[in-house]
Structure 1
């Protein structure tokens, strides 16, 4: 198992995460950990805004805020399917949005997404990782499910306490 040993680091990560009382401070911390553990170039955490029917992120490495309709892209497809999605050749995937690469100047070579559920099994966000050497596999899916579950309670707490910052 390629993630053996990373779970010890997860306890330290969790303690550090509790020191971040807002999206703007917590999301970069979550991203940094996910990128290091899985070995990817980029990480985005999309928040599901049910009222506006859109997904947004203020965390997309070196990219300004991204907002997409709730039913678009691989992150929208992840919400619809309620499970992780791997696209090791994203430009051939029906739900991939190449216009985001065009707008950002970044080239996505592979992508993995995982829904982030709250305690009511509602999807509150999507964790998205980009560009892993060699592509993503089933072990990555297992870790993404575990990690999304791990951070979900924290993200739900931010929402419930209404301490998220305006974005």
Structure 2
């Protein structure tokens, strides 16, 4: 099973912190020795040989530790041999970690493109916004997300859908962190929301939510115009990272086209519904025909 302890504890911690090898002939007489590991494992440590794992650049990435020499005591020759072995081990470990990181980055990139492709095909605005905020929340391991769109007629930021929202939320597009991001175009990463003077606690009062950390990024269209703000709240396990900032920025740059297309489609649908309502309510008969003289539509009075 996995064993973890602070990298300053025990002989291994001393070796890591001091970047030096260590020979201990009687573990229980050495003040650096961490007895807790023996207690947890049921093992009895007698002697110890430790050597830090150094990369080519000299960075210490771990410690190699040998316990209880079978024949005699650990010697300086043993320490030199362990040092030679740890140099090769450090290179191998570093290469393996780099390979794992590349594979993880490639996997995330493929997942990212799949998400963008799936979301961009959605034309119904409310459904699109719901998918976007659900994706952002999951992608950044947060508690909640919102996507605010700018209303150019009223100069307000609004959201029709949001996790934890029961109704549309609107506020002036210069107010709060979201307003700051909208007016400046800056991406803002705030570890403690209530300690920031720009934070608008009114939204928390409206929703009953308590905001701890916040990540906000502008949503910009293909012409560079800011059309909204994406807001992510309460990173699980701590604050938002630089990687979170990069992922949110990349995601919002991809989804802006889908938002504009869905907004246009929504406007057309609203106009068609309005025209249909007007035709239905008219007392006079109205008939529409196509270019060949065929009847396309007729209201009830017709």
Structure 2 length-normalised TM: 0.52
Find 2:262's aligned residue among 155, 158, 161.
158
Is this contact kept in 2: 1:23–1:164, CA < 8 A? no
Matched, 1:21 2:123: yes
- Paired residues of 2:191 and 2:239 also in contact (CA < 8 A): yes
Which one of 68, 71, 75 corresponds to residue 178 of structure 2?
Answer: 75
C-alpha contact (below 8 Å) 2:116/2:251 kept by paired residues: no
Are 1:111 and 2:214 matched, yes or no? yes
Q: How many residues align?
A: 166
Q: Return closer, same or farther for 1:89/1:147 CA change in 2, 3 Å cut-off.
A: same
Aligned partner (choices 109, 116, 121) of residue 224 of structure 2? 121
What is residue 95 of structure 1 aligned with on the other side? 198
Summarize the Cα distance change of 1:15–1:90 in structure 2 as closer, same or farther, 3 Å threshold.
same
Secondary structure, in 3 states, of the residue corresponding to 2:171? strand
Distance in 1, matches of 2:182 and 2:204, equals 21
Partner of 1:55: helix, strand, or coil?
strand
Unaligned 5+ runs, structure 1? none
CA contact (8 A) 1:22 1:163 kept: no
SS in 1 for 2:150: strand
Q: Which runs of 5+ in 2 are unaligned?
A: 1-100, 272-302
In the alignment, which of 54, 57, 61 is matched to residue 156 of structure 2?
54
Determine the C-alpha separation between the residues in 2 that align with 1:164 and 1:49: 18
Alpha-carbon distance in 1 for matches of 2:125, 2:192: 31
1:39 aligned onto 2:141: yes
**RMSD of equivalent CA atoms:** 2.0
Report the alpha carbon displacement of residue 165 of structure 1 after superposing the two structures with TM: 6.0
Distance 1:105 1:50, change over 3 A: same
- How far apart are the structure 1 equivalents of 2:114 and 2:246? 20
* Cα drift, residue 54 of structure 1: 0.2
* Superposition misfits of 4+ residues, deviation over 6 angstroms: none
Deviation at 1:163, TM superposition (A): 4.6
- Aligned partners of 1:164 and 1:132: how far apart in 2? 37
8 A contact 1:24–1:165 mirrored in 2:
no
Correspondence for 2:252? 148
Rounded Cα–Cα distance in structure 1 between residues aligned with 2:226 and 2:269: 17
Q: Deviations over 1:7-27 (max 9, x none)?
A: 211232233224421221101
Q: Which residue number in structure 1 is paired with residue 61 of structure 2?
A: none
* DSSP-derived class of the 1:141 partner: helix
Aligned position for 2:62: none
**How far apart in 2 are the matches of 1:123 and 1:92?**
27
Q: Deviations over 1:84-119 (max 9, x none)?
A: 111110101111111211221110011101000011
- Specify the SS of the correspondent of 2:231: strand
Q: Is the 8 A contact 1:78 1:126 kept in 2?
A: yes
Q: Deviations over 1:125-163 (max 9, x none)?
A: 111000102111222111111011010111122234435
